[in-house]
Every structure is written in structure tokens, then in C-alpha cells.
Amino acid sequence: NATVLFSDVRSFTTITEQLGAQGTVALLNEYFTLMVDCIQREEGMLDKFIGDAVMAAFGIPVAHDDDADRAVRAAIAMMRELRSWNRQRVAEGRLPLDIGIGLNTDTVVSGNIGSKKQMNYTIIGDGVNLAARLESACKLYGAHILVSEFTYRQLKGTYFSREMDVVVVKGKTQPVAIYEILDYHDEESYPNLADALRLFKTGLLKYRQQKWTDAIEAFEEVQAINPADAAPRLYRERCIYLMDHPPTDDWLGVWVMESK
């Protein structure tokens, strides 16, 4: 088993249009240096860069009994490092970067893959694909770090986190519970986080019980604590929709993701 970390930069096209070719290369080199340091401090294996995306694995080639935690700690460090770097960029009049990170733990295939002329050591498999899907899902939920239930169940440490949803990702049929890690926040970036997590959990429970009004009330309280938190706004909109379009009797609160 390995825990796969997949991270990507959001709205990168907008930034590259302003920077031009040389500026884009310089930006990516600076950004990748910061992110790779976070990964390697936790003994993760950098797998590859894919454009502005980073893929890494924890547990390959050497397994540890806390590889899931190492991956989560690396993701938290990446977010903290990015926030510090962004402060510096904004102070210099440059645009900040925003990223999403997906983590998933599963059996993966690793080895030298390619042609006779060029081979690369890499990892492939469904476990890798789900990590990439979770990174993509960060945009939907306004999250920065999403982990699958398979990673979450293996965590030994305690983190500020919340169950975000149960989803069926594109190309799959089995639902997967996903969790958001919020440990990179401080009191300035998310005040009264513990209260917000408690209220969000209540809202999610009421949502699944189809008690739409109670759910909306809880999500609105989360929104009042932190108006920048997109997840309670998303759920509030879902509740309003489901009040007008009641689900079928066999509804279990599973969300089917149509995009990759």
C-alpha cells in the first residue's frame, strides 16, 4: 500500500498569460522547490511533475507504519508554506497561487514504465486516479486538502478535519467517503474552527436525515463564523434544491461527481 499525494495549481492559465514563458518557468521552479521540500521532509517519493501538478507517494520504495500521516503532514506543510510565500508575493505586487491537494491510500503498481528508448520509474493504478479526482473535487467544495476514507482510516495522528461528503467519482460505481483536513489554518485564517466543525457535523447529519430546515440552520451558522468557507454554502444550496426536488426513498446522501 502507498498513500498518493496529487496537487495542482488552480487558475494557472490566468497567471501564465500575465507572466509569459520565462516568467512562468521561473514561477514554477520557485513553487516546485517549496512543495518538494515539504514532501521530502516526510520522506515521500516525488513521482513526477505534470505541467503545474505534483505527484508523490508515501510508502514507496520504503514503507513506514505512518505513511498516511506523513502524506497528511506534507500536505499541511505545503499549505502553510504556500500561505507564507503568497504573503511575500502579494507584498511585492505579484499574484498569489492557490492549490488543491488530494490524498488516497491504496495498492499501486510501481516500476520502470515506458518504451525501450525511455523509461521512467512511476506509479499507476486506481489509487493514483482517485487521488487526482480528489484534488479536482477541491474546487467543488472550496477545499484545499481532501483525503479518501482509505487514508483517513489509517491516520494515527489527530487533525482538525471534517467529513465532507460521500461521493461516486467519475468512472466508478462505489461511493467513497471524503474528508477535509483543515490543520493548516490558524485563528486568523479560520476563527473558531472547532465550533465551525461541530456545527458542520450537525448540518451534515441533518442533511442525511433529510431535515432540510435544520441542516440549513446549522450550515448558516458555520457560514456566519467564516463567510469564506465555501462548503456550508454548497450544502445550503443542495438543501434548498432537495426541498423542492425531494430525493427517492432509497437516497443515502451520495453525491455523483460528473467531472473528473
Among the listed residues 126, 124, 128, the one whose alpha carbon sits nearest the alpha carbon of residue 114: 124
pLDDT the model gives residue 144:
98
Instruction: Give yes or no for a contact between 82 and 101, defined as CB atoms under 8 angstroms apart.
Output: no
pLDDT the model gives residue 114:
80
Residues 6+ apart with CB under 8 A from 29: none
Distance CA 86, CA 189 (A): 14
Distance CA 246, CA 233 (A): 19
Joined grid coordinates for residue 166? 460521500
- Decide the pairing of beta strands 109-114 and 145-148: unpaired
Distance CA 21, CA 35 (A): 21
Distance CA 8, CA 170 (A): 18
Distance CA 97, CA 78 (A): 12
> Which mean pLDDT values do the consecutive 10-residue runs of the chain (260 residues) have?
94 76 90 97 94 94 94 98 96 93 91 78 84 95 98 97 95 92 96 98 98 98 97 98 94 85
Phi and psi dihedrals of 148, rounded to 5? -80, 165
Q: Would you call 187 exposed, middle or buried from its count of C-beta atoms within 10 A (0-12, 13-18, 19+)? A: exposed
Distance CA 99, CA 114 (A): 29
Q: What is the torsional sign of CA 155, 159, 162, 165?
A: negative
Joined grid coordinates for residue 190? 479560520
- Decide the pairing of beta strands 98-106 and 145-148: parallel
Which residue type sits at 124?
A: I
Distance CA 57, CA 48 (A): 10
Q: Is 68 in a helix, a strand, or coil? A: helix
Phi and psi dihedrals of 254, rounded to 5? -85, 135
pLDDT the model gives residue 260:
63
Instruction: Give yes or no for a contact between 145 and 180, defined as CB atoms under 8 angstroms apart.
Output: yes
pTM of the model: 0.94
Distance CA 218, CA 215 (A): 5
